[in-house]
Amino acid sequence: MTRVALGFALFLSPHLALAAPFAKGPYLQECSATGVSVRVEVDPPTPLRVEIVDPSGTSRTVESKDTARFHAVRVGGLSPGTRYAYTVHSAATRAGGTFLTAPADNATGPLQFLLYGDNRTDDVAHGRVVRGLAGAEGAFFIHTGDFVESGASAPDWQRFFDLETPLLQNRCVFGAVGNHELLDDQSASAFVRYFGPTDAAGLLYSTFRWQNARFFVLNAFQRWESGDQRTWLERELRNSDTEAGLTWRFVVMHQGPYSSGPHGHHARLHKAQIPELFVAHHVDLVFSGHDHLYERGEVQGLHYVLSGGGGAPLYPVRHPHPGSRRTESIHHWVELTAEGASVKLVARRADGSVLERCGFTKGAPWDCDAPAAQPGSSSLLPAPAPSMPLLTQEPRAKCGCHTVGAPTSMPIAALPLALAFLRRRRARREPRTSPPHD
């Protein structure tokens, strides 16, 4: 089969892809209206090239000439809303798939994407979620963090890519850093290599636009009262207030403001009044994970969905609060569609059964709930609620949620030293404030 014929075969069948003989990948990152990053890890180190075929059959090649083990190849000059085929060639092998560029900012029609997170230790459950996601409609994936049990473990990352490469070689994933990717210096460096921005080495937060929506992907584990991420977030939210054609604002972070699981609410976010900042700048929906369950809720107009059921050991509903509208301790994923002035979601258990269907019109409450009282205080911190019986097994292993992520943009080589310094300084000055769960 010629290269162009191969490109046509991949283009005509989006789920058809070559076998993936590389150590990791190929997989897709940073999809935009005009470009994509193709990432792959090879063994032994070797140069490689990425061939792109457009719908007309025209091909072009981008080379990565370094004799390296890991390659992140940026391909630009693409057309919005277009499906391309690609093939990664090394001296010994090749693999590939297809990808869809983001539509133009003013494009009409539904925006569909998929949400999941907290994969970690249960490969069987993780595999079931991946198989479900593979058959679900969505242009890209949002990952809420904790891709692996230990970000410093090469075998953990290998298991993740062995399971997810068939999924991620055909659609982009935009992922928030989790505490298990910040357990130590090596963990943080691995996350930056695999999922950090190509053009901002060491940065653990970013923003991207897809059609009429802007996503803010944040590092939940750092100081929030001040610092580079706080300054950046305030600036980007202000910019989004007047961004042309923007309808939706979505935030993605591993530990969000609210949870009915063992971790409860994120005290540092509330102390720094981050939920109030979201509301002031018209954020519509916050996506998070960290507690290994499904939860949907709303606190004084700020909608949230917690999706931490991608394969990690399930957590009980421990601290229900008035903002919570639905919880279930189950492995799952979530399908989301934003169209016009409404968002709709379908949450599915790992067996494909529907956990719930719900949605909201911009500025209005969830449409599938009976009216519920909100906390009486003007604060967006939920009022205490009585405890409920445990729904499933207790969490296992200790949590790394107190590790501080990189607060500034820096070269990867400098990231471990900065993380170590911040961790030592914090250990001297700050008491632990949360239970040591996963």
Is residue 114 over pLDDT 50? Answer: yes
Q: What confidence category does residue 399 fall into, taking pLDDT thresholds of 50, 70 and 90?
A: low
What is this structure's pTM? 0.84
Handedness of CA 221, 309, 360, 383 (dihedral sign): negative
Each domain of the chain, given as residue ranges in start order, spans: 3-100, 116-173+206-361
**Model pLDDT for residues 289-329, shown as the tens digit of each residue:** 999 999 999 999 999 999 999 999 999 998 888 899 999 99
Residue 321: per-residue pLDDT:
81
Among 374, 393, 409, which residue's Cα sits nearest to residue 318?
A: 393
185-195 and 415-429 are packed helices; what angle lies between their axes, rounded to 10 degrees? 130
| Amino acid occupying residue 83 | R
User: Which tops the pLDDT comparison, 371 or 354?
Assistant: 354
Question: Distance (Å, rounded) from C-alpha 17 to C-alpha 11?
Answer: 10
What top-level class would CATH report for the domain 116-173+206-361? alpha beta
The b-or-e profile of 262-271 (16+ CB within 10 A means b, else e) is bbbbbebbbe
Residue 376: per-residue pLDDT:
47
Sheet strands side by side (includes 294-299): 206-210, 213-217, 248-252, 285-288, 302-307, 294-299, 324-328
Strands (DSSP E) found in 126-267: 140-143, 172-175, 206-210, 213-217, 248-252
φ/ψ of 67, rounded to 5, equals -85, 85
The CATH code that applies to domain 3-100 is 2.60.40.10
**Model pLDDT for residues 164-210, shown as the tens digit of each residue:** 998 999 999 999 999 999 988 888 899 999 998 877 666 899 999 99
Do 344 and 336 touch, CB atoms closer than 8 A? Answer: yes
Is residue 242 over pLDDT 50? Answer: yes
